[in-house]
Structure 1
Amino acid sequence: MGQIRLDKLLADAGYGTRSQVRQLVRKKQVTVNGEPAKGAEQKIDVDEDQVQCMGRPVFYAEYEYYMLNKPAGVVSAVTDSRDKTVVELIEERQRRDLFPVGRLDKDTEGLLLITNDGILANRLLAPGRHVDKTYYAEVDGPVTQMDVRLFAEGLDIGEEKRTLPARLVIEESGRELSKVWLTITEGKFHQVKRMFQAVGRRVLFLKRLSMGTLTLDPELKPGEYRKLTDPELLELKRQGR
């Protein structure tokens, strides 16, 4: 990785702003290889030097990647004045610049990638990429084979262009409730809900199960998260090329 300024290392690791971590250095709260830091501008070899802040080891991570099973009631944002955010759920994060890749509505559950890798995020979210996103949904009333055909043809959801073809699979269709799987390749605002609204149905429950090559770990309960495995990250980066 090479060398990095001490104040940047500490700020990126979540110990405060540049000015705040400089205060920690001045107060002798930071050591490098067992000795008090010489100054906030001191260059640190992140592969060799051992840094501690207030007695705790400081580890540098250039990028972090987390799979989150987003619970309902939490917003897909970095900060929010009223509600808890998905980034706040990642308690063990080392980076302070994490953000969600894309958005899930406040009442929607499921897979969300949390990272600070802006290049990968832009590639996955680019409109021309058409990355598959699969959802499980429960809707009021019956869903029919006619709906399957309409979704495959593209729907008018009140925008200039119709939605791109989507794959709708009916698991169970009932008079009061239907259970379906839906795969779309876009990320329009409230898209899944608006698509069902276009065929006279209302979404009662929505959960994202996959995005591209990344599939939600069934072991993760709502609100739980884990770091991506090396194979998961490799496949995701391949897709984002």
Structure 2
Amino acid sequence: MRNTQRLDKIVSNFGYGTRKEIKAMVKNGLIKVDGQVARDSGIHVDPNSSVIEINGEVLNYKEFIYLMLNKPQGVISATFDQRHKTVVELMPEEVLHYDLFPVGRLDIDTEGLLIMTNDGELAHEVLSPKKHVKKKYYALIDGNVTESDKDEFSKGITLDDGYKTMPALLHIIRSGSISEIELSIVEGKFHQVKRMFEALGKEVKFLKRIEMGGILLDESLKPGECRELTDEELTVLRNSAGKGLEEKDKDE
């Protein structure tokens, strides 16, 4: 099925100007479609199959885009906010025309992996509670995390509102007055990781998401930086729905 759109809309969405300005570009012969100079800015073109050139530059059209962001603290997972900086404001100028949004959210003081896309269908699949897509977090905990805590997480934790979470995998890296852990969950309740530890009398001091849907945070990305997902990563993400907590704790 062909996905045809008006030429001026396609070009405008890539930031080359308003439709009026693009009409002028067409009049001046600056836009070509499949090697032919366009004579009408309103013609319908399939951007997936046609080659569009603007003043000699080929337009690299993609219907959807998928980015991995290393979200920093102090930024909210939203497309617009009057008080705080949003993750959309961290996006490079060349991708802003895609109308990106975050797949899920991380708290303002939580950092790490966040997927940005304009693919609503994929976002719905990944976020669906029925799909049990795994999220893994690294955290520093104020308090001594024990094997007993690990057992409690494996059975599910009853939160302050009475909700009992699904089983979670707790891996203790280092236990002490400040414990270092990794936690894998398949839900995304409000402040879930923090509330799970609070239910056991412990406080999360630092939280970072390091994996989502089988996609690992690229450690070369500094906080606030992003890059496109590779084809392999995108395939892993698409296939992740329904797998849940297949990965076993390293200590088991």
Q: Aligning the two structures, in what range does the TM-score lie when normalised by the shorter sequence?
A: 0.7 to 0.9
2-structure distance, mates of 1:49, 1:57: 7
Question: Is contact 1:77–1:87 with CA below 8 Å preserved after alignment?
Answer: yes
Instruction: Say whether residues 1:170 and 2:168 are aligned partners.
Output: no
1:35 Cα offset (Å): 4.6
2-structure distance, mates of 1:74, 1:168: 27
Aligned to 1:118: 120
1:219 Cα offset (Å): 1.5
Aligned to 2:31: 32
Match of 2:40, SS state, is coil
| Distance verdict in 2 for CA 1:240–1:120, change over 3 Å | farther
Match of 1:69, SS state, is strand
Instruction: Say whether residues 1:103 and 2:67 are aligned partners.
Output: no
2-structure distance, mates of 1:37, 1:216: 46
Match of 1:93, SS state, is helix
Match of 2:180, SS state, is strand
Match of 2:86, SS state, is coil
1:231 Cα offset (Å): 0.8
Question: Is contact 2:133–2:241 with CA below 8 Å preserved after alignment?
Answer: no
Name the TM-score, length of structure 1 as normaliser. 0.87
2-structure distance, mates of 1:76, 1:37: 43
2-structure distance, mates of 1:118, 1:170: 36
Equivalent positions of 1:187-226 (< 5 A) are 187-226=188-227
Aligned to 2:75: 74
Question: Is contact 1:63–1:116 with CA below 8 Å preserved after alignment?
Answer: yes
Match of 1:155, SS state, is coil
Between 1:121-130 and 1:147-156, the stretch displaced more is 147-156
Aligned to 2:236: 235
Residues matched between the structures, number: 234
Equivalent positions of 1:6-155 (< 5 A) are 6-14=7-15, 21-28=18-25, 31-33=30-32, 35=37, 38-39=40-41, 41-46=42-47, 47-52=49-54, 58-91=59-92, 92-93=94-95, 95-155=97-157
1:133 Cα offset (Å): 0.6
Q: Deviation string for 1:2-24 (max 9, x for gaps)?
A: 532123313443457xxxx2232
Question: Is contact 2:213–2:241 with CA below 8 Å preserved after alignment?
Answer: no
| Distance verdict in 2 for CA 1:129–1:45, change over 3 Å | closer
Question: Is contact 1:64–1:95 with CA below 8 Å preserved after alignment?
Answer: no
Mind listing any 5+ residue stretches in structure 1 that lack a counterpart? none
1:220 Cα offset (Å): 1.4
Mind listing any 5+ residue stretches in structure 2 that lack a counterpart? 243-252
Amino acid of the structure 2 residue aligned with 1:64: I
Amino acid of the structure 2 residue aligned with 1:63: F
Question: Is contact 1:67–1:227 with CA below 8 Å preserved after alignment?
Answer: yes
Question: Is contact 1:133–1:208 with CA below 8 Å preserved after alignment?
Answer: yes
| Distance verdict in 2 for CA 1:127–1:45, change over 3 Å | closer
Aligned to 2:159: 157
Aligned to 2:250: none
2-structure distance, mates of 1:188, 1:197: 14
| Distance verdict in 2 for CA 1:87–1:94, change over 3 Å | closer
Superposition misfits of 4+ residues, deviation over 6 angstroms:
none
Question: Is contact 1:63–1:115 with CA below 8 Å preserved after alignment?
Answer: yes
Name the TM-score, length of structure 2 as normaliser. 0.84
| Distance verdict in 2 for CA 1:185–1:36, change over 3 Å | same
